[in-house]
Amino acid sequence: MRPPPPIAMLAELTYRCPLSCPYCSNPIEMARKEAELDTGTWERVFQEAAELGVLQLHLSGGEPVSRRDIVDLVAAARAAGLYTNLITSGIGLTERRLADLDAAGLDHIQLSLQGTDPAMADEIGGYKGGFARKMQVAEWIGAIGFPLTLNAVLHRRNLHQLPRALDMALEMGARRIEVATVQFHGWALKNRDALMPTRDQAREATAIVAEARARLKGRLVIDYVPADYHEDYPKRCMGGWGTSGLNVTPDGTVLPCHAAHSIPHLTFETVLDRSLSDIWYEGMAFNAYRGTDWMSEPCSSCERKTVDFGGCRCQAMAILGDANATDPVCVKSPHHGALQSQADAHAARDDTPLVYRVSPGTTPEPVQ
């Protein structure tokens, strides 16, 4: 049976970024500026996405406003009929540029938060003065009236700031906050020792979110990504592989999720060689883990197999070296106990320094 069309597309416009967050999910090897798609090709891809059925376009990176043509890209996406969301740290945005984005039709902004005070935010982002600039950008966003989502990535070092992050979302007039406990993909895998939350922190965060959801009902929507190494069931990653979303990387490679390039036996295609529609419906990588036919035990006979689709393929790959395996977060996986012990061991490493993300084109160290 033909799968439904995707609802959302994540366009990773560039891997360049002024910040160097240690939790970055961009790949270890990143495309250089020269390999980035040009304006005209992105415009064609947005058109193809709209024709395929995509409704929402998330413009991401790296830092998407590092692209000089960001205003033109937003205008092209709107002309194609897509709802446009800019996912940004705010660094590189000026009042003028925001006004231009508004005039181009930008629908929504998602602003990342590395910490709730300058010391934390600037340390995690690896960018001195970043917090002050972000607060200025938040003011401009509010003055223009863009619908805003605050995106707080939380980990062992800043989880205690969750209550303040919720207050900040209200103060900024955000309609939504995404409370995302760090997920270990790409560069972030280098920082499991430094960033893994403790089990107590994970529990406390869940309680804080539950209390805040009840208290702030009707005022602030809270999306929550828990610390899944400490959970008993895995997340339904990407809403299910090849069911609702796709990613296009800076050089035009089309992926079923942002970390799929970590699965070595998959073959990926690019928008330079094939249409987005053909890649979505017929591409090898998109069909590899669609539905449930690929599953083996314990997933294949599990009553939750269409709830979580076996969890995250990239996490199974990163932890077990086998993308076909049940996500080891699952309590039914034979590796669940070992993962929990490993998570506790990572969380106990108090003195581990942060390994900052390096910019595209430089040679990173191997993952330990």
Residues making contact with ligand FES (CB under 6 A): 185, 237-238, 257, 259-260, 312-314
**259 touches which of ligand FES, ligand SF4, none (CB within 5 to 8 A by kind)?**
ligand FES
**238 touches which of ligand FES, ligand SF4, none (CB within 5 to 8 A by kind)?**
ligand FES
Residue showing tokens 């339904």: 236
Binding site residues, ligand SF4, CB under 6 A: 233-234, 298-299, 302, 304-305, 308, 310-311, 326-327, 330, 332
Of 185 and 230, the one with the shorter C-beta distance to ligand FES is 185
Q: How far is CA 261 from CA 38, 206, 251, 257, 264, in A?
A: 22, 31, 13, 9, 7
Of 285 and 330, the one with the shorter C-beta distance to ligand SF4 is 330
Of 38 and 297, the one with the shorter C-beta distance to ligand SF4 is 297
Of 66 and 262, the one with the shorter C-beta distance to ligand FES is 262
Give me the helices (H) in the chain, please: 39-52, 70-79, 95-104, 118-125, 130-144, 162-171, 192-195, 199-215, 276-282, 284-288, 305-308, 313-320, 336-347
Q: Give CA–CA dist 91/102, Å, rounded.
A: 17
Shortest distance, CB of residue 236 to ligand SF4, whole angstroms?
Answer: 9
Of 104 and 260, the one with the shorter C-beta distance to ligand FES is 260
**291 touches which of ligand FES, ligand SF4, none (CB within 5 to 8 A by kind)?**
none
For every residue of 163-228, DSSP letters joined together read HHHHHHHHHTT-SEEEEEE----GGGGGGHHHHPPPHHHHHHHHHHHHHHHHHTTTT-EEEEE--G
Q: Give CA–CA dist 199/343, Å, rounded.
A: 8
The annotation status of 299 as a binding-site residue, yes or no, is: no
Of 250 and 328, the one with the shorter C-beta distance to ligand SF4 is 328
**312 touches which of ligand SF4, ligand FES, none (CB within 5 to 8 A by kind)?**
ligand FES
The token pair that represents 342 in the structure block:
């490993």
**308 touches which of ligand SF4, ligand FES, none (CB within 5 to 8 A by kind)?**
ligand SF4
Shortest distance, CB of residue 325 to ligand FES, whole angstroms?
Answer: 12
Q: Give CA–CA dist 340/236, Å, rounded.
A: 19
The annotation status of 17 as a binding-site residue, yes or no, is: yes
Shortest distance, CB of residue 258 to ligand FES, whole angstroms?
Answer: 6
Interhelix angle 130-144/118-125, nearest 10 degrees? 100
Between the two ends of the chain, the Cα-to-Cα distance in Å is: 42
**165 touches which of ligand SF4, ligand FES, none (CB within 5 to 8 A by kind)?**
none
The annotation status of 24 as a binding-site residue, yes or no, is: yes
Which residue positions form the known binding site for [4Fe-4S] cluster? 17, 21, 24
